[in-house]
Amino acid sequence: MKPKVLILFAHPALEKSRVNRRLAEAVRSLPGVTFHDLYELYPDFDIDVPREQELLEEHDIVVLQHPFYWYSTPALIKEWQDLVLEHGWAYGHDGAALRGKTLLSSLTAGGSEEAYCRRGHNRYTIRELLAPIEQTAILCGMTYLPPFVVYGTHSLDERAIERHAADYGRVVEALRDETLDLAAATRQTHLNANLDAVIGNPPEA
Amino acid sequence: MSEGGFFYQAFVYLAAAVVAVPIAKRLGLGSVLGYLIAGIAIGPFGLDFVGEKGQDIMHFAEFGVVMMLFLVGLELEPSLVWRMRSPILGLGGLQVVLTAAAIALCGVGLGLAWPSAMAVGLILALSSTAIVLQTLSEKGLMPTRAGQSAFSVLLFQDVAVIPILAILPLLAVGGSGHSAESHGATTWVEGMPGWAQTMAVLVAVGAVVLAGRFLVAPVFRIIGRTRLRELFTAAALLLVIGIALLMSRVGLSPALGTFLAGVVLANSEYRHELETDIQPFKGLLLGLFFIAVGASVDFGLIVAAPGLIAGLVATLVAVKLIVLLALGRLFKLSLDQNLLFGFALAQGGEFAFVLFSFATQNGVLADSVVAPLVAVVAVSMAIAPLLMLVNEKLIQPRFGTRETDEREADEIREENPVIVAGFGRFGHILGRLLLANGVGTTVLDVDSDQVDLLRKLGLKVFYGDASRVDLLRAAGADNAKVLVVAVDAKEKALEIVRTAQEHFPHLRILCRAYGRPHAYDLLEAGVEHVYRETLDTSLRVGVDALCMLGYRRHQALRAARKFRRHDEDAVRELAGMWKDRKAYVIRAREIIQSVERMIRSEVEQGRHPELDAAWDATGLIDEYGERRD
């Protein structure tokens, strides 16, 4: 059976979004992919925990898709972590619900790639800033992939946005079809740094 | 067979309509053709149930045309009429002048004297407002460019009747005409000097405009307060009849006068109510009018000279069609639209009957000329719906352009996506939220004082009872997306819901519920979105009370949400049992107990599995303890 992909999408102002909306459109209705719009479902942060846990159990690959706010996720994803990833379910002695699953962060950042490095004015790389998410995945026994990042969203033109959306669609399909070379991927800083190097042919049945 | 008696007459006409119209509709012929066939069937040359009464009925039924123009006016905002001034004057003016000239030429060719030919031309240039508007709106073609163009032409023709009435006596062969006398009605202005007549007309029009602006709303408000439906209908009829009377007294066309009144009232809060009240009368009278036209077709004459009549009808239709198609091209209609426009207007009109008799009285035309022409007009009117059908089924599929005319979208009247029924304590809050967000919202309320107040506050509110299909339709329910039922009367809310579900199944209904039993009824009726009016406010009070007792606000709010979720689920579950009191009581008690148990155990153990473990470190602490051991 092919792995199933769950996209946890969090954007508090989707109507103003230029890039994330396009990324969302690229994956929203792919077969074998569940697109879960958190801000639409829980506008007042009243998260339905049993439902969220059930969804996670039904899927193999979890994608956190969101804009990068203050070097982190929008607030609802933090709330989601606090409520859904319960001790005894997601982690801890008896918590094994997520073990063996895969987690990918997909985000859009206003700053350029150069800004996110030791010498840049953000001083850290995005991979470094995502350490809390990465460690959350590790604690829950999940495989953590390098993030899919779209940099410099404020200055992207229509063609560039289109290209990123197509890349994102390709990544999600590759995850679903198991054509993503995990070993090659983990060596990259971002999943989309060089897609041709990490996406291959479908494995022999 | 033609006996007198009002009931007998009414029975014959109504029976003919009830039998013929559904059959015609079923055959795809449209209601107008159905009425005409009914008229022919009961006329002197069919079953002869009505005898010569047809003419009297026609005179009476012409009032249906007057009402129709009032309704057309109501649909038109003054700004829209102003925007249409160029098609009305340009297209309409050219149509009348060119068609009249072309027909006059044919007349001369057939041996008529010049003045007579001109008179015939002017009279036959007019088309049938009643048939065309009825057929176009029945087919939903009014908002198209062709529909709008046809309407412009008809509007111009209705106005043109007045100057034609003035010109006809001048064309009298012997020059021995009477002075202007319209429709045989006695007018106040007869014998007045020209300037006084003009003054009288201006005063009358001014009176209609001013009354529409300042008098109608307050009077209707007073009537609304009585809450008597029939009084409203009476007032609406009184308004239309009054204007018609006033207009014919000063020598203007009653149709034009009521059209004007309609336009003046188009922005009024009573617009939808007026529309709904007048609509059935208009429908009936117009139907009667078509029946009368059918009954008045003189088959004797047709049988005597079938070739002549057929030739004249063909000539009339051909001449009108050519002129119309040429004008359509000139005004840049696409081929599709132009064909529709041309075929719609290629017939003689009801005003021709009036004008022909006027022309004979004035000695402009001889009886021998008029008799066949009246038959020609009647036949052309009778075949008009057929012609439109021929165009629709045979000509357009072959020659029409299939691409959709993108400009059509602009012509469609703006419709609001939301209708709010009831704008009192409850409705006005959500209504203002919608309006503040720039969402087009049509508001209906049955409290005339409230409507008046809201209007003064600058809100666009209409008076009317939303449980009536026609009123919902007038408020744009066909194109709206959402209907909010926010009336306070429980039964009324259910009535509105049922009407909307039956006639506008596409509407998403949001309904205010008075309390639990009302919510059950609404859920039972199939409403998905039911809102108990006190639930949210009451829970907010509960949250505040918990806070005052020392709860942290965040926890209190979460507790209220949880309670609410349980309660909503319970209402939905219990809705199905409401009818069976015993089962209801048993289950309701179980639910109440389980919620209480849940809350109590939380208090006793500090935590309960049914509540989530958010921000709870008990499990974590236990595990650390185990490891340390």
pLDDT, tens only, B355-405: 887 788 778 888 888 888 888 888 888 888 888 888 888 887 776 554 443
Given a contact cutoff of 8 angstroms between Cβ atoms, the answer to whether B375 and B298 are in contact is yes
Tokens at residue B67, please? Answer: 């009402």
Q: Give, as one character, the DSSP assignment of residue B180.
A: P
Q: Is the pLDDT of residue A176 over 90?
A: yes
Put simply, the answer to whether A83 touches B623 (Cβ < 8 Å) is: no
Q: Is the pLDDT of residue A109 over 90?
A: yes
Give the integer Cα–Cα distance in Å for B131 and B293: 11
Q: Give, as one character, the DSSP assignment of residue B168.
A: G
Put simply, the answer to whether B613 touches A82 (Cβ < 8 Å) is: no
Q: What are phi and psi of A47, to 5 degrees?
A: -75, 135
Give the dihedral of Cα atoms B231, B232, B238, B240; nearest 10 deg: -160
User: pLDDT tens-digit profile of B198-220?
Assistant: 788 788 888 888 888 888 888 88
Spell out which residues of chain B touch residue A83, defining contact as CB-CB under 8 Å.
612, 614
Q: Is the pLDDT of residue B588 over 60?
A: yes
Verify that B123 and B210 share a domain, yes or no. Answer: yes
**C-alpha dihedral sign at B3, B4, B8, B10:** positive
Residue B409, pLDDT score: 30
Spell out which residues of chain A touch residue B623, defining contact as CB-CB under 8 Å.
87, 92-93
**What is the average pLDDT score of chain A?**
93
Verify that B362 and B456 share a domain, yes or no. Answer: no
Mean pLDDT of B149-174: 79
> Thinking of the domain A5-198, which architecture would CATH place it in?
3-Layer(aba) Sandwich (3.40)
Given a contact cutoff of 8 angstroms between Cβ atoms, the answer to whether B65 and B289 are in contact is yes
Angle, helix B31-42 to helix B6-26, in steps of 10 degrees: 130
* Number of residues assigned to chain B: 629
Q: Is the pLDDT of residue B592 over 50?
A: yes
- Which of B564, B623, B626 is the best mutation test for A, with the most CBs of A within 10 A? B623
More confident residue, A46 or B449: A46
Q: Is the pLDDT of residue A145 over 80?
A: yes
Q: Is the pLDDT of residue B183 over 70?
A: no
CATH number at residue B281: 1.20.1530.20
Give the integer Cα–Cα distance in Å for B353 and B331: 30
Taking CA atoms, A27 is separated from A56, A103, A180, in Å, by 18, 16, 16
Put simply, the answer to whether B620 touches A87 (Cβ < 8 Å) is: yes
Verify that B263 and B302 share a domain, yes or no. Answer: yes
End-to-end CA distance of chain A: 11
Verify that B432 and B370 share a domain, yes or no. Answer: no
Band (B185; pLDDT cuts 50, 70, 90): very low
Put simply, the answer to whether A87 touches B614 (Cβ < 8 Å) is: no
Residue B400's contacts (CB-CB under 8 Å, 6 or more residues apart) are B335, B336, B339
Put simply, the answer to whether B612 touches A92 (Cβ < 8 Å) is: no
Give the integer Cα–Cα distance in Å for A39 and A65: 12
Verify that B21 and B79 share a domain, yes or no. Answer: yes
Q: What Rg value do the Cα atoms of chain A yield, rounded?
A: 16
More confident residue, B271 or B347: B347
Mean pLDDT of B69-94: 81
CATH number at residue B469: 3.40.50.720
Reported ipTM: 0.77
Instruction: Catalogue the E-assigned strands of B285-436.
Output: 418-421
Residue B76, pLDDT score: 72
Residue B400, pLDDT score: 57
Verify that B259 and B381 share a domain, yes or no. Answer: yes
Band (A205; pLDDT cuts 50, 70, 90): very low
Give the integer Cα–Cα distance in Å for B452 and B477: 23
Spell out which residues of chain B touch residue A139, defining contact as CB-CB under 8 Å.
none
Angle, helix B93-109 to helix B114-125, in steps of 10 degrees: 140
Taking the Cβ of residue A46 and every Cβ of chain B, the question of whether any pair is shorter than 8 Å is answered with: yes
Q: Would you say residue B551 lies in a domain?
A: yes
Burial readout B427-455 (b: 16 or more C-beta within 10 A, e: otherwise)? bbebbeebbeeeeebbbbbbbbebbbebb
Verify that B109 and B13 share a domain, yes or no. Answer: yes
- Which of A87, A91, A94 is the best mutation test for B, with the most CBs of B within 10 A? A87
Residue B470, pLDDT score: 80
**DSSP bridge pairs for B482:** B418, B508
Given a contact cutoff of 8 angstroms between Cβ atoms, the answer to whether B577 and B587 are in contact is yes
Distance from CA of A151 to the nearest CA of B (A): 33
Task: Point out the residue among B558, B619, B626 whose CB comes nearest to the CB of A87.
Answer: B619
Placement of tokens 């339905």 in the chain: A48
- Residue B291 identity: I
Band (B111; pLDDT cuts 50, 70, 90): confident
* Number of residues assigned to chain A: 205
Least confident of A73-77, B25-29, B119-123, B526-530: B25-29
Least confident of A102-116, A118-132, B340-354: B340-354
Taking CA atoms, A49 is separated from A79, A83, B121, in Å, by 11, 7, 82
Residue B403, pLDDT score: 42
Band (B180; pLDDT cuts 50, 70, 90): very low
Distance from CA of B620 to the nearest CA of A (A): 7
Verify that B358 and B422 share a domain, yes or no. Answer: no
Q: Would you say residue B41 lies in a domain?
A: yes
Q: What are phi and psi of B438, to 5 degrees?
A: 75, 20
Band (B629; pLDDT cuts 50, 70, 90): low
Spell out which residues of chain B touch residue A46, defining contact as CB-CB under 8 Å.
558, 561
Q: Is the pLDDT of residue B226 over 70?
A: yes
Distance from CA of A160 to the nearest CA of B (A): 32
Q: Would you say residue B50 lies in a domain?
A: yes
Query: By C-alpha distance, which of B472, B483, B475, B479 is closest to B508?
Result: B483
Residue A27's contacts (CB-CB under 8 Å, 6 or more residues apart) are A7, A33, A35, A168, A169, A172
User: pLDDT tens-digit profile of B506-535?
Assistant: 999 999 999 888 999 999 999 999 999 999
Band (B613; pLDDT cuts 50, 70, 90): low
Mean pLDDT of A49-68: 96
Verify that B155 and B231 share a domain, yes or no. Answer: yes
Transcribe B71-82 into DSSP letters.
HHHHHS-HHHHH
Given a contact cutoff of 8 angstroms between Cβ atoms, the answer to whether A12 and A76 are in contact is yes
Q: Is the pLDDT of residue B41 over 60?
A: yes
Number of domains in chain B: 2
Q: Answer left, alpha or beta for residue B589, where phi above 0 means left and psi between -120 and 50 means alpha.
A: alpha
Put simply, the answer to whether B619 touches A88 (Cβ < 8 Å) is: yes
Question: What is the separation of C-alpha B164 from the centre of its chain, rounded to a whole number of angstroms?
Answer: 30
Verify that B327 and B182 share a domain, yes or no. Answer: yes
Other Cβ atoms within 10 Å of B15 Cβ, number: 13
Q: Is the pLDDT of residue A193 over 80?
A: yes
Give the dihedral of Cα atoms A114, A119, A124, A127; nearest 10 deg: 50
Least confident of B118-122, B181-185, B443-447: B181-185
Mean pLDDT of B606-629: 65
Verify that B567 and B428 share a domain, yes or no. Answer: yes
Q: Give, as one character, the DSSP assignment of residue B170.
A: G
Question: What is the separation of C-alpha A37 from the centre of its chain, rounded to a whole number of angstroms?
Answer: 13
Put simply, the answer to whether A88 touches B615 (Cβ < 8 Å) is: no
Give the integer Cα–Cα distance in Å for A99 and A140: 6
Mean pLDDT of B38-45: 82
Q: What are phi and psi of B420, to 5 degrees?
A: -110, 120
Distance from CA of B613 to the nearest CA of A (A): 7
Q: Would you say residue B266 lies in a domain?
A: yes
Give the integer Cα–Cα distance in Å for A67 and B561: 29
Taking the Cβ of residue A51 and every Cβ of chain B, the question of whether any pair is shorter than 8 Å is answered with: no
Residue at a domain's end among B336, B365, B399? B399
Q: Is the pLDDT of residue B296 over 50?
A: yes
Residue A132, pLDDT score: 97
**DSSP bridge pairs for A143:** A102
Transcribe chain A into DSSP letters.
-PPPEEEEE--TTGGG-SHHHHHHHHHTT-TTEEEEEHHHH-TTS---HHHHHHHHHH-SEEEEEEE-BTTB--HHHHHHHHHHS-BTTTBSSS--TTTT-EEEEEEE-SS-TTTSSTTSTT-S-HHHHTHHHHHHHHHTT-EEPPPEEE--GGG--HHHHHHHHHHHHHHHHHHHHT-B-HHHHHTSSSTTS-HHHHB-PPPP-
Task: Point out the residue among B561, B614, B620 whose CB comes nearest to the CB of A83.
Answer: B614
Q: Is the pLDDT of residue B88 over 50?
A: yes
Domain boundaries, chain A: 5-198
Spell out which residues of chain B touch residue A15, defining contact as CB-CB under 8 Å.
none
Put simply, the answer to whether B619 touches A46 (Cβ < 8 Å) is: no
Taking CA atoms, B516 is separated from B49, B160, B522, B568, in Å, by 60, 62, 10, 10
3-class SS of residue B176 = coil
Question: What is the separation of C-alpha B78 from the centre of its chain, rounded to a whole number of angstroms?
Answer: 17
Q: Which domain holds residue B95?
A: 6-399
